[in-house]
Each structure stands twice: as structure tokens, then as C-alpha cells.
Structure 1
Amino acid sequence: MFASDGSFEAKDVAAGLFALFGTFAGALLAFRLEENREKAREVRAQKTALNRALLVLGFHHNEIRTFRNLIAPHRTDIELAFNLPASQPPEQIDMRQKFDELDFLLDSSAPQVLFDLIIEQERFDQALQAVRQRNEFYVREVQPVFAAQGLNNRRVSMAELKSKLGEYLFGGALQGAETIREHIEGSNESIPVAVEKLRKVAKELFPDEKFLMFEKVLLPHEIAEEAAKAKAATETSGFGATPARVEE
């Protein structure tokens, strides 16, 4: 209010200032609360993304180990090319890395880990593709010739196999086996390394958070035991005719 001489009264000025300060403080508090909520949501999303990335790696490693167990009894590429039943890899259940949810790793102490995950996903995809291509070639190209030449369900020498299959089929089957072994072995070695790197970065970012852990890769003698079980299972679950037993 104005005083009789036209000036402001002190109490009115103080009241106005308090009202202005209260409005400002309330707005600032609301902003800070929303900022904290947003930060908490961001942190939760990052933790979830890290655990999901670890889960995907674990799933991929399990798939690779399954195929490794299948190929373990076939110690040479010749055996692998012609004695491995053509069983298809399972369909993927949205188990791929979501790199857009992991871009915050670029600001971490080890941004290289994001690039490693991209490479790991590509390596896994190539491994599955190699299995599918080999099996498709084996079923569509090799097995019909096996049946026509009477090669199924009996022992076959490599010389006879080369002669009756021809260079294209023999070489294609052998190349498919080599590619499968290369990709499966590569992924089997690299995935555990990627898991350890990612967990290390995750613990650096969130020391108090618990992140997924997986069992160690089977030792060689354990692989042999698991491979024997897998071989027995695939002999009844694989599709197509029973392959010939190739001897070198």
C-alpha cells in the first residue's frame, strides 16, 4: 500500500518479496524433484540395459555351447562335413543386443566395450548363419546324392566319397564344416571375455548393484560327456536320412 506521502510501506514490500521468493522456491523445488526422478529413471534404465546385455550374452553362449557339443565328437572337418546330422538352430526369441539402450557406455571408462558387443553380436549371427547354410546345403545337395549312390547307413572311404559326390559337393560340404567350426570356436572363446569386460564396467558404474553371472565354460573332459549326450539326442531329433559314416 502507498503511504500518505505516496511511498510504499515496508511491510508491503516485504510481503511481496516473500511471495515472490516462495513462488521461485516452489518452482525450483518442483524442478529439482522432477530432475531427481528423471535421473533415477535413467539409472534404472541403465542398470536394466546392462543386465539385459549380460543375459543376451549368456543366452548366446548357451546356444554356442550346444552346437559345440554337437560337433565335438567329429574331430576332423571330413567327419564334421558328412557325419553331423542336419539339425536346425532354434528360432531366436528377441535375444539380440539393443545397442541404442547401451549408448551411455560411450561415456564410461571403457567405451570399447560397446564396440565389442557389436562385434560379438555379428559373430554370433554369423555362427548361426553358417550352421543354417551348411545344413541347407547338406539336405538339398548332398543327401540326395547319398541316397542315389547308396551311400547312406554304411561306411564310406574318402576316395569313394570324392568320386561319387564330385568336386563341387565334396568341396562345398567340407568348406561348410570348416566355417561352422571356425565360427563356433571363435564365439565360444570370445563370449566369456565379453561377459567379463561388461560386468567389470557395470560394477564400476554401479558398485552396489548386483549383475548377472553365469557358469564357467565346460572343461574339455566335461565337454566330451555333454557331447555324448547331445549326440544321442540329435540322432533321433535331426531331419533327413541317416548320414553315411565317413572314414578317412
Structure 2
Amino acid sequence: MKYNYDELGFLLEEYPQLVMNLVIEQERFEQAFKSIELRNEFYVNEVQPALSRLNLNGKSIVITDFANVLGERLFEGSIGSAKTIYFHLGEADKSIVEIYDELIAASRKVFPGEKFIKWKPET
């Protein structure tokens, strides 16, 4: 999903920061999604073939041995990409609540008496 910013232009006069926050949130979402995409490509195209070639699929192995067998690039690349995903998703998880609250507050002022979808994050 993407915001249609042209249709939100009416908010710029009274809520320019809200529109900017929506743009930032959209970018944050896209960055999280791109991190997942890149990790998946790396895993499917490089890590998984290496695991198959080394006959390591489904085998239990000590993490230090795993790092040595796979090599620094594949091992650290896997760990690094997973950390990047967790970072972006964690940031989005926090910020989406904030932007939702901000958007609902502004929406109630702009459209008094209207009903809005209630959303609460899982705890």
C-alpha cells in the first residue's frame, strides 16, 4: 500500500508535519520491505546453494563451526541482513503506532463526527 499524496494535499495547510511524517513512514516501510527482499535474494541465491553444496541442510552444527565452514562473507552476510531486517521492522513497529495516533487525531479534527477504523497493535 502507498499513500496517494496528491489526495492528501488538503492537509498541507493545517498539518504539514503530519504529511511529512506519512512520507517518512512510507519510506520506512519500503526500506523494511527492501531489507527483506535483499536478505531473501542473498539467502536463496548464495547461502542456500552453499548449504546444499556443503551438505549442511537440516544438520545440527555449532555456530562457530558453521561460520568457519560457510566463510565470513556468507555467514556474516546472513547475520547482518537478519539484523538489518529486525532493526527496520522494530523501528516501523514503534513508529506506525505514533503516526496512526497522529493521523487519527488530525482526521477527527478535519472530519468531526465521522467514524474511523480502530486499530491497536498486538502487545
Shorter-chain TM range is over 0.9
Shift of 1:211: 2.0
Shift of 1:162: 1.2
Matches within 5 A, 1:211-230: 211-214=116-119, 216-219=120-123
Shift of 1:136: 0.7
Partner residue in 1 for 2:13: 107
1:129 aligns with 2:30: no
1:162 aligns with 2:67: yes
Q: Which runs of 5+ in 1 are unaligned?
A: 1-94, 220-248
Residues 103-140 of structure 1 deviation map (CA, whole Å, 9 limit, x = unaligned): 111112x3200000000000001111111110110011
Q: Measure, in 2, the Cα distance between the counterparts of 1:106 and 1:144.
A: 50
Q: Measure, in 2, the Cα distance between the counterparts of 1:212 and 1:111.
A: 23
Q: Measure, in 1, the Cα distance between the counterparts of 2:109 and 2:64.
A: 58
| Aligned residues between the structures | 123
Q: Which runs of 5+ in 2 are unaligned?
A: none
Candidates 97, 106, 110, aligned match of 2:3 = 97
Instruction: Tell which structure's C-alpha radius of gyration is larger.
Output: 1
Q: Measure, in 2, the Cα distance between the counterparts of 1:151 and 1:160.
A: 11
Residues 75-108 of structure 1 deviation map (CA, whole Å, 9 limit, x = unaligned): xxxxxxxxxxxxxxxxxxxx21001110111112
Shift of 1:159: 1.5
Following TM superposition, the consecutive aligned residue runs of length 4 or more in structure 1 with deviations greater than 4 angstroms are none
1:189 aligns with 2:94: yes
Residue type of the alignment partner of 1:195: Y
Q: TM-score, normalised by structure 2?
A: 0.95
Shift of 1:170: 1.0
RMSD: 1.0
Shift of 1:217: 1.3
Partner residue in 2 for 1:3: none
**Identity of counterpart residues, as a percentage?**
40
Partner residue in 1 for 2:104: 199
Residue type of the alignment partner of 1:182: F
